[in-house]
Amino acid sequence: MGTKTIQGSVIAMITPFKNNGREVDYDSFKRLIDYQIENGTDAILVCGTTGESPTLTYQEHEDVIKFAVEYVNGRVPVIAGTGANSLHEAIELTGFAKDVGADAALVVVPYYNKPSQEGIYRHFKTLATEIDIPIIVYNIPGRTCREISVDTLERLVNECPNIIGSKESVGDMDRISEIRRRLGDNFTILSGDDSLTLPMMSLGANGVISVANHILPKKVRDMVHSALEGDFTTARKLHYELFPLFKAMFMDTNPIPVKTAAWMLGLIEEKSFRLPLCEMSPEKEEKLREVLKSYGLNVVR
């Protein structure tokens, strides 16, 4: 797979649950996948932050990846979230994703144990050496307590040809400029925050791994593809049109708002979360409902 294959509008898929969160709702999952593909979404990510990967069992994590690859059936690329703060677990999950046919792996910077830059380098170097699958490094310091430095990223890219890009969940545009300047045009940069997608793309990012895609996938795709084509006038217009939705998706901890919105729109059967995540306050739910209605969406709940 070439480095430009995964770009554009990528959905960070929720994991729908049923029976009050006790099991994965694969019927709803199918509908969500079909809805995205029908509306032009370029690729599908499963088992990321939005997919509640921290509360999936190990078996569920593998089952969701396998199901997504088989159900998508080559219609668009499937990216599997396979990161962990344990190298052996990341190797097992990433190897599984490769074996079942995932197109790439999204691997988060190790969290909680707060490794040094050398530790981060060795973690990714070992993984990329052992598992030959395209790897997108997931940089989200707000959740991991550690940011992979541009120096470390450059070192890895120079030594590991299968490290093809990074998902950047940061507000630092200087970092995006530095990555593009130092790593060149063949390195894929994907925004990890809908509201920062257009600013990042103006600096050379290749698209977004989007939460808002669940709600208005065609609009998000049109914004991203306008930017890819250099039509920033259209992209900017769509950015401001979508901006209230972008912010609403993060009025509470992700994926609580987007999962609630999907339930309100009838895209999933239950708005089930797994503790320690729980439902929004009634006040926030009502605010979210009003934002959805402002886009003329059919709010059924």
Across the chain, where does the E strand assignment appear? 8-12, 17-18, 23-24, 43-46, 78-81, 104-108, 135-139, 163-168, 188-191, 207-210
Do 65 and 95 meet the contact criterion of CB atoms below 8 Å apart?
Answer: no
- Domains assigned to the chain: 8-228 (3.20.20.70)
The pLDDT score that the predictor gives to residue 264 is 97
Is residue 276 helix, strand or coil? coil
Answer yes or no: is pLDDT of 1 > 60.
no
Query: The whole model's pTM is what?
Result: 0.95
The one catalytic residue in 66, 121, 138, 259 is: 138
β-bridge mates for residue 81, sequence order: 106
Considering the chain, what is the average pLDDT of its residues? 96
- Dump pLDDT digits (tens) for 61-86: 999 999 999 999 999 999 999 999 99
> Does residue 125 carry a catalytic annotation?
no
The one catalytic residue in 66, 98, 121, 167 is: 167
The pLDDT score that the predictor gives to residue 222 is 98
Q: Count of H helices and E strands in the chain? A: 12, 10
Given its phi and psi angles, is residue 230 left (phi above 0), alpha (psi -120 to 50 degrees) or beta? left
Do 133 and 97 meet the contact criterion of CB atoms below 8 Å apart?
Answer: yes
Long-range contact list for 68-74, CB < 8 A, 24+ apart? 68/13, 68/29, 68/33, 68/44, 69/100, 69/101, 69/102, 70/100, 70/101, 71/29, 71/30, 71/33, 72/33, 72/37, 72/44
- Dump pLDDT digits (tens) for 37-53: 999 999 999 999 999 99
The pLDDT score that the predictor gives to residue 94 is 98
pLDDT confidence of 2, banded at 50, 70, 90?
Answer: very low
Answer yes or no: is pLDDT of 270 > 70.
yes
What average pLDDT does range 94-119 have in this prediction? 97
Burial per residue of 152-179, b for 16 or more beta-carbon CB atoms within 10 angstroms, e otherwise: bbeebbeebebbbbbbbbbeeeebbebb
Phi, psi of 209 (to 5 degrees): -100, 105
Please compute Rg for the chain using Cα positions: 18
Residue in the structure block whose two tokens are 């995540």: 277
From CA 28, how far away is CA 92, in angstroms rounded?
27
199: its two tokens: 């600013």
> Does residue 111 carry a catalytic annotation?
no
Answer yes or no: is pLDDT of 5 > 80.
no
Strand 17-18 and strand 23-24: pairing? antiparallel
Burial of 281 (0-12, 13-18, 19+ CB in 10 A): exposed
Residue in the structure block whose two tokens are 């886009």: 295
What average pLDDT does range 183-204 have in this prediction? 97
What average pLDDT does range 113-125 have in this prediction? 97
Q: What percent of the chain has pLDDT over 70?
A: 99
